[in-house]
Amino acid sequence: MRAFKAHLRGLAPYPYKKEEAPVKLDQNESPLDLPGGLKEEALRRMARLPWNRYPEIHAEGLRRRLSALLDWPEEGIVLAPGSNLLILALSLAAEEVLDLVPSFPHYAHAAKVAGTPYRAVPLLEGFALPLEALLSAFTGGVLFLPNPHAPTGALFPEEALWGLAERAKEVEGLLVVDEAYREFAGTDFSFLARQNPHVALLRTFSKAFALGGIRAGYLLASPEVAGVVREVLPPFVLPAHTAAILEVVLENPGYVEKGVALVRAERERVYGELLRHPTWRPYPSRTNFLLVKTPDAEEAFRHLLARGVLVRRQDRYPGLEGCLRVTIGRKEEMDAFLRAAFGVAYA
C-alpha cells in the first residue's frame, strides 16, 4: 500500500472493545440519561431547523452563550463534536506532544496519527505528578495534562499546575489542562488560563452533562491558540442538531448538579466498601470512576462480566498492573458490582 504515510503503518487500534452486559460500568458515562423534558425541547428545536442549510461556520451562537456563561472571550472558544477531535487538532498543530504515562490514551494515539514527535514522562509513586521531570522535559510543544487525572482518578495540586503554566510561558509552549472530570472534583482551572495565553482548557459534554452519545466538547484558550485550532478543524464542524441540544442544556443545566451529587455519593460509598475487600485495593478518586488494583485483572474482569458487570481493564498500561477501572453508576448498579466483587474473595 503506497497511498498512506509510512508512520500510519501498524497503527494500533484505540483500546476499546464493545461488550454487552446488564450493568455497564466501562466508559465513564453518566448513569442517568438527559431528563425527558430537555430531550423533547431539543427535538422541537431540531425540527424547526432548516436541515438543508449548513450550520454556523464556527458555532458562533454557542460560543456567544458560553462566552457569557463563563466570562471567556468568544474568540478564545472552539467547539467540536467531542473533545477528542480537539485533542487531534492540537496534536496536528503541535511541534511536539508531551504526555504522562499512564494517561488518557487518546493523547498518544492522536500524536501518532498526526506524525507529531511524542514523549511521555512516567507518574511517580502513588500516581503523583512528576513535576521536576515534566519541567525539564517541557521545552515547547503541547503538554496534555488531565486534571483530575485519567485513568487514576487523582487530582494534581494547584501549585504544580502553576509551575507548569509558568514553564509553558517560559518555553512558549502550551499547557492543555483536560478538565473532562472537573465537575466530579469541583475544580475549575480557568484562573490559570485567564492570565496566561500558554495555558488552555479542554472540557466535554460527555461526562457530567450526560451527553456521551451526542459528541461535543470545547476548548478555552487565547484567541491566537483558538484561531489555529479552528483552522485545523474542518469548517462547519459542529452539526446544527448538536448545537440545538447544547443550547437547551446550557439554558437548563440544573440536572448536571443532581447527577454529579449522586455519582460522588456512590463513589465514596463504593470506595469505603472496597477498603474491606480481602484482595482488591481501590485508589482514591475525584472523578466518576474508581481505579481498583486486583491480583489478576483478567480473572477479575471475567468474574465480574460473568455476573453481568462490565468494567474496563487498565492492566496493559505501565504502572497499572492488575488494575480495573470501574465507572460509578446508580446505587443498584454499584450494589451489583459490590456483590460480584466480594464474590471473588470466596470463589
Rounded to a whole number of angstroms, the minimum distance from the CB of residue 190 to ligand PLP is 17
Least Å from the CB of residue 82 to ligand PLP: 3
Among 116, 152, 204, 288, binds ligand PLP (CB under 6 A): 204
For ligand PLP, give the closer residue by CB, 87 or 336.
87
| In the complex, least distance from residue 35 CB atom to ligand PLP, rounded to whole angstroms | 20
Binding segment for ligand PLP (CB under 6 A), chosen from 68-76, 168-176, 203-211, 220-228, is 203-211
CB of 147 to ligand PLP, least distance (A): 9
100: β partners: 121
Burial label for 83, CB within 10 Å (0-12, 13-18, 19+), is buried
Q: For ligand PLP, give the closer residue by CB, 260 or 336.
A: 260
Measured from the CB atom, the residue of 42 and 145 that comes closer to ligand PLP is: 145
Which stretch in 38-46, 204-212, 238-246, 251-259 sits in contact with ligand PLP by CB under 6 A?
Answer: 204-212
Among 55, 102, 173, 217, binds ligand PLP (CB under 6 A): 217
Q: Which residue's C-beta sits nearest to ligand PLP?
A: 82
Q: Candidates 18-26, 77-85, 251-259, 333-341: pick the segment binding ligand PLP (CB under 6 A).
A: 77-85
In the complex with ligand PLP, the residue whose CB is nearer, 222 or 287, is 287
Task: Closer to ligand PLP by CB, 116 or 206: give it.
Answer: 206
Looking only at the bridges linking them, the beta strands covering 97-101 and 118-122 are parallel
Per CB under 6 A, contacts with ligand PLP among 79-98 are: 82-84
**Of 31, 76, 105, 146, which one interacts with ligand PLP (CB under 6 A)?**
146
Q: Read off the C-alpha cell for 117.
A: 514527535
Identify which of residues 151 and 340 has a Cβ nearer to ligand PLP in the complex.
151
d(CA 192, CA 299): 43
Shortest Cβ 160–ligand PLP spacing (Å)? 18
150 binding ligand PLP? (CB under 6 A): yes
Question: Which residue type occupies 40?
Answer: E
String marking each residue 158-197 x if it binds ligand PLP according to CB under 6 A: --------------------x-x-----------------
Residue 153: CA atoms inside 13 Å, Cβ hemisphere, count? 26
Nearer to ligand PLP, 313 or 344 (CB): 313
Among 23, 28, 59, 238, binds ligand PLP (CB under 6 A): 28
Measured CA to CA, the distance from residue 289 to residue 299 in angstroms comes to 20
| Interface residue list for ligand PLP (CB under 6 A) | 28, 82-84, 104, 146, 150, 178, 180, 204, 206-207, 217
